[in-house]
Structure 1
Amino acid sequence: MSAANPGGSIRRLALALHESPALWWSFLYFFCLLSGYYVLRPVREAMASSSDLQEVFPQALIAWFAGHGVALQDFVLQFLFTCVFLIMLLLQPLYGWLVSRYPRRVFMPVVYGFFIVTLLGFHVMFDSNVPGRGMAFFFWIAVFNLFAVAVFWSFMADVFSNAQARAYYGYIGAAGTVGAFLGPLITGALVQRVGIANLMLVSAGFLSICLLCIWRLRHWAVAREREQQLVSGEQPMGGSVLDGLKLIMREPLLRWLAVLVLFGVGVGTLLYNEQASIVRLAYPDQDARTAFYSHIDLAVNALTLVVQLALTRWLLSRHGIAPALLVPAFAIILGFSVLAASPLPMLVAMVQVVTRASEFSLFKPARETIYTRVDRQWRYKAGAAIDTVVYRGADLGFAWVHKALSLMGSHLVFAGGIVVAAMMTVAAFGVLREEKKLPRDR
């Protein structure tokens, strides 16, 4: 049966769902998580590319920069990414304390409960047109995207073995992609009818279903830990709040994973910032920008879903993680080479779609299967540190790199992107070398 046969992929998916009840709940969990996120993602993009500073920043901050002779509108993304990185530095020890001191049944509902409550607060802010709401929301959704998704994949590594992960992660990712399809559709259909404020309530509803899924999936996580005599996630992990960063410094595999994420984020940040500059000029209206970004998201999700259903399981099960890491890396190098020669807006959008789709459908599932073969300290502490501090540090650094390169034009931005993509490929080879030293399952 061909790996690219859609009918065969659907039959294999139906069989997997029949064999594993846990897969059903994982499907629902990731579907709702990404539906809730993608309802809000276009709002973030619209805020980040807004030409109205008072939509984004508090008046006092605008006045402070003006008083110091700095045109804040020239440094919107750089300022936002800098603040997000500082927030991550503050939250990482708090998260480390939470997972060290409390068992899984406590810290996971606390994480999602926090996001639900704060969404209700944003409903009030957007309904009242509070100045600076864009900045606050940009910070919030950056934290949500990283922590909520990192916790999800760490939990999946508690529930599934390595063999199951290779067979199921592509399908679980596809469920998330379907949710990511639904989110922009909801936004595109409702934003001009009910307004941005009420989209916050829609997202909060999806996250509430995630809490139900966590409660149901705990049964299979506990069963796997008992069967394979692993350390129970129903007990606090203990240790230091900074154990995650210490593990990254000490373990070669984690260091290479951190470098892979660093340069992978760098590729995306250079492309994202250049696209934001184009969209800011082409779509001055907030609602129009929101609709545009929702269309980009739909294209990304369409390609992601096709790859997840037709290729991801086949690649991971038959050939391991090597093709899933290396094929997208080479494709990104090719895409940036084309843009360096001809940075047309349509080509930028096309490379954006390929870059993000390859991350969701191949890069991410391949990386996450590695965590099924290591202990929970690596998953919940080191993995979360990579997905938060390293990720946002890369965002910050490459936001300023983009600012410098953009002074000399789009051609140089994309030429720099080729170098970054090449470094990402080197890191992928490093991960593959260290991954071979792990046991096949724990």
Structure 2
Amino acid sequence: MISEQVGTGRRLGRFRAALSASPPLWWAMLYFFSLLCGYYVLRPVRDAMGASSDAAAVFPRGLIALGERLGIEVGAFTLQLLFTATFIAMVLLQPLYGALVSRFPRRVFLPAVYLVFIACLLGFWWAFDSGIPGRGAVFFVWVAVFNLFAVTVFWSFMADVFDNANAKQFYGYIGAGGTIGALVGPAITRFLVEPVGVANLLLVSAGFIGICLLCIIKLRPWALARERSHGGGTDGRAMGGSILAGLRLVWERPLLRALAMLMFFGVGVGTLLYNEQAAIVRAAFDTAEERAAFYSMLDWAINGLTIAIQLLLTRFLLQRYGIAPLLLLPAFAIILGFAALSASPLPMLVAIVQIVTRASEFSLAKPARETLYTRVDREERYKAKAVIDTAVYRGGDLTFVWVHKALATLGSSMVFLAGLGIALGMTYGAWRVVRAERTLPEDPGRRQASTGSGKASAAT
């Protein structure tokens, strides 16, 4: 008992020392807390839309009428249609994001992204308050886009603020700040959804995104200071380059290809679980409020486990052993989970594997992947990362949501048996990332800066 108290005291002491030694850590934690809190206020509402058995509450009347003329029940393909629309939206937005990153400096495009999100939330507040048909489908797609782009931009910016050594030391704490936000968000939804209604929850989320804007402004001096120390200029100028450079980089660089493979199959694992879970929720709960409450409880369990791992294991494993255990341990756990589900696909076991899968992704795999982006250049950090985190991610969603639809006719056991093969693909991708990571320099920015000063001296 005494040794446990001593260990806890040491961990708290290290955390306090990290906060005092690194002022940007405070703002980074507040930023991620506010971002995930705002998102998790919305997530249960989005998931309730995806699990709805009422097509009229999700899709526009015109689409439902078209389905009736073709003899297709639109409600039977709710998730498939929503995921397909999400993928199309991601593909269309990639060139726009690439142009924004290429042509505008960070001080312009980062606030612009979040201001657009706030404006959209205000628009959805009006749509939900007015009861406009088809709002559910548009909202589902938008929340999926918001989640990926907002979080991708966050971690890209963190790679500008912190170097690799800082990332190994601080990313676990930053992730824990986000996880606390992910715990608070569902609680807000659970306790406010019935008294204030769905529409007013969107205003709460918009308030948290506004705090993110403040954090970006406060963190900008440290990002610029790191850029100056690496010879990257002094004014945070636009990085230039092609708006489609991200696609080229993912194709050319072994590490980025491996990360794309890991992302694709990792999404496949989550998508199969998500679809099975949606079927269970659709059968168990009648109203959107009941479904939103269930999803918020599930998010509580996931995020509670996540924060425990982040505070107790993530920093230790990352500093002592590097990224290998953080990528491979979740992969092996998912293989075991899917093997158990293929033998006995009980609803409670599905929920448990879902909790383990998402908690291990948030607490171990994601921090490990994000530290890698501190060791690559800015085009890879912003453009290639955006391709992997958005287009590849939603491409995996699109692929496996239709795979699930085909497999579901054969029963849950076949779904999870196929999922076992997908989990093996994810494990292979993780192994490829670990191998490719060994070829990266510890701090490429400093190496480029010293090379640049050497050339300048020679020229002088």
- Change in CA separation of 1:364 and 1:287 when aligned onto 2, cut-off 3 Å: same
- Partner in structure 2 of residue 261 of structure 1: 263
Q: 1:337-384 CA distances to partner (integer Å, 9 max, x unpaired)?
A: 111111111111111000000110011000000000010000100001
Distance 1:156 1:337 in 2: 37
Q: 1:373-421 CA distances to partner (integer Å, 9 max, x unpaired)?
A: 0100001000011001000000000001111111100001111111111
Distance 1:137 1:9 in 2: 41
Distance 1:229 1:13 in 2: 31
- Residue 235 of structure 1 aligns to a residue whose secondary structure is coil
Gaps spanning 5+ residues in structure 2: where?
A: 445-460
- Partner in structure 2 of residue 274 of structure 1: 276
- Partner in structure 1 of residue 302 of structure 2: 300
Distance 2:233 2:428 in 1: 34
In our comparison, the structure showing a higher alpha carbon Rg is 2
- Partner in structure 1 of residue 161 of structure 2: 159
- Partner in structure 1 of residue 293 of structure 2: 291
Correspondent of 1:243 among 241, 245, 248: 245
- Partner in structure 2 of residue 422 of structure 1: 424
1:43 paired with 2:45, answer yes
Q: 1:271-297 CA distances to partner (integer Å, 9 max, x unpaired)?
A: 001110111001121100000000000
Q: 1:73: how far off?
A: 1.3
Q: 1:10: how far off?
A: 2.2
- The 5-angstrom pairing of residues 313-328 of structure 1 reads 313-328=315-330
Correspondent of 1:432 among 412, 429, 434: 434
Distance 1:291 1:8 in 2: 37
- Partner in structure 1 of residue 232 of structure 2: 230
Q: 1:212-248 CA distances to partner (integer Å, 9 max, x unpaired)?
A: 0000100101111112323567111111110000100
Correspondent of 2:186 among 184, 187, 195: 184
1:13 paired with 2:15, answer yes
Among the aligned pairs, what percent are the same residue? 62
- Partner in structure 1 of residue 177 of structure 2: 175
Q: 1:310-359 CA distances to partner (integer Å, 9 max, x unpaired)?
A: 00000111110000000010000011111111111111111100000011
- Residue 75 of structure 1 aligns to a residue whose secondary structure is helix
Q: 1:2: how far off?
A: 8.5
- Partner in structure 1 of residue 212 of structure 2: 210
- Change in CA separation of 1:337 and 1:120 when aligned onto 2, cut-off 3 Å: same
- Partner in structure 2 of residue 24 of structure 1: 26
Distance 1:263 1:364 in 2: 14
Distance 1:407 1:62 in 2: 23
- Partner in structure 2 of residue 370 of structure 1: 372
Q: 1:9: how far off?
A: 2.4
- Residue 131 of structure 2 aligns to a residue whose secondary structure is coil
**Number of aligned residue pairs:** 442
**Which one-letter code corresponds to 1:53 in the other structure?**
A
- Change in CA separation of 1:231 and 1:242 when aligned onto 2, cut-off 3 Å: farther
- Change in CA separation of 1:158 and 1:355 when aligned onto 2, cut-off 3 Å: same
**Which one-letter code corresponds to 2:113 in the other structure?**
V
Gaps spanning 5+ residues in structure 1: where?
A: none
User: TM-score normalized by structure 2?
Assistant: 0.94
Q: 1:7: how far off?
A: 3.5
**Which one-letter code corresponds to 1:125 in the other structure?**
A
Q: Which runs of 4+ in 1 moved over 3 A?
A: 1-7, 230-233
Q: 1:113-155 CA distances to partner (integer Å, 9 max, x unpaired)?
A: 0000010011111111111111010011011000000000000
- Change in CA separation of 1:3 and 1:352 when aligned onto 2, cut-off 3 Å: farther
Distance 1:369 1:3 in 2: 30
Distance 2:235 2:275 in 1: 40
- Partner in structure 2 of residue 93 of structure 1: 95
Distance 1:417 1:171 in 2: 32
